[in-house]
Amino acid sequence: MKTKISTFIVIFLLSISCNYQAKDNIPPAKANNETYTGPIIDMHLHAYNEGYPMFGMTHPPTLRGDTFEGVNSAMEHKEKSLERFHKYNIVKAVVTNGESWLDDAPESILIGSANKAIDSLRKQYSNGGLQLIAEMAPFYNGILADDPAVMPYFELAQELDIPVGFHIFPGGPNYGFHLMPEMLGGMRTYNASPLQLENVMVKYPKLRVYIMHGGWPYTDDVKALMYAHPEVYVDIAVVNWILPQEEFNSYIKSLIQAGFGDRIMFGTDQMVWPETIDIAVATVNSANFLTLQQKENIFYNNAAKFLRLPDEEIKKHKGQ
């Protein structure tokens, strides 16, 4: 009798276990595969003047294996970029040197600037022509975020209460140091950890900072920094078109599982290759582990909160 009871219990427990495993192996809900078509905020774009040396440049193969032919002029660059604003419903974009596009998309462009003297940035802000200090990229010269030459820019941003977009890694194309040493010769992977922002955030605790390119591949460092400092966000520019889809998925999933899904923002870092916008949007929409709500947060809601967009503007963007 005891043997029969024991056998029954074992069968019962195995049955429960199989049921739980079956539930765990259920494919993602259909909603997870839906394409997000609502408003988008791109936190990382570039505009250039005529004669920019990268015009016409072919992007070397990414880790996905893609190559891109660069546009040949500032006009072509602007036109093809703004075409994608309309195609993907990009309602706001942080554009370095964005003043050159402002007349064409006055309601969409947020002007970012950083490679100027402090007094010049202050004057630009006073004239209404500066919304963010971005992108800051001392990394290209081997200079850390808390270097005495860099800290005054963070101080200015906190004083003016405007966000900072800080570039660390990846910089340029994969293997970029070897392909473009004249441009990328100062960058080093040992200087690329997001933890270099720790002293900045301690000194300027009210500062709103977003780490451009998501801080990849320093996943644990990013999570540690975001855990310690609630004003630290990330954008996912470049990593959403230069990395293989599965690597992108793994990285974003790690941040979301750690509880930071409300501080991940969409970006492209579109330079002279407008089609990277297409890939960047598709990459997020192809991340099937994301719910439609999580996609909306990444594409729009998180950035709207970070930028402190007025409720009326948000309602307008969402057609409410």
* CA–centroid distance for 23 within its chain: 33
3-state SS string for 101-114:
CCCCCCCCEEEECC
Per-residue pLDDT of the chain in tens (320 residues, 90 and over written 9): 444 444 443 344 444 444 433 333 333 434 467 899 999 999 999 999 999 999 999 999 999 999 999 999 999 999 999 999 999 999 999 999 899 999 999 999 999 999 899 999 999 999 999 999 999 988 888 899 999 999 999 999 999 999 999 999 887 777 666 667 777 777 788 889 999 999 999 999 999 999 999 999 999 999 999 999 999 999 999 999 999 999 999 999 999 999 999 999 999 999 999 999 999 999 999 999 999 999 999 999 999 999 999 999 999 999 97
Q: CA 81 to CA 137: how far, in whole Å?
A: 23
Q: State the virtual CA torsion across 249, 255, 258, 261 in degrees, nearest 10.
A: -100
- Coil, strand or helix: which one is 121? helix
For 273-308, the pLDDT digits (tens) are 999 999 999 999 999 999 999 999 999 999 999 999
| Triad 233, 114, 166: Cα angle to 5° | 25
pTM for this entry: 0.88
Domain 31-317 indexed as CATH 3.40.50.1110: no
| Triad 116, 122, 128: Cα angle to 5° | 110
For 31-86, the pLDDT digits (tens) are 467 899 999 999 999 999 999 999 999 999 999 999 999 999 999 999 999 999 99
Sheet with 209-212: strands ordered across = 133-136, 164-167, 209-212, 232-235, 264-265
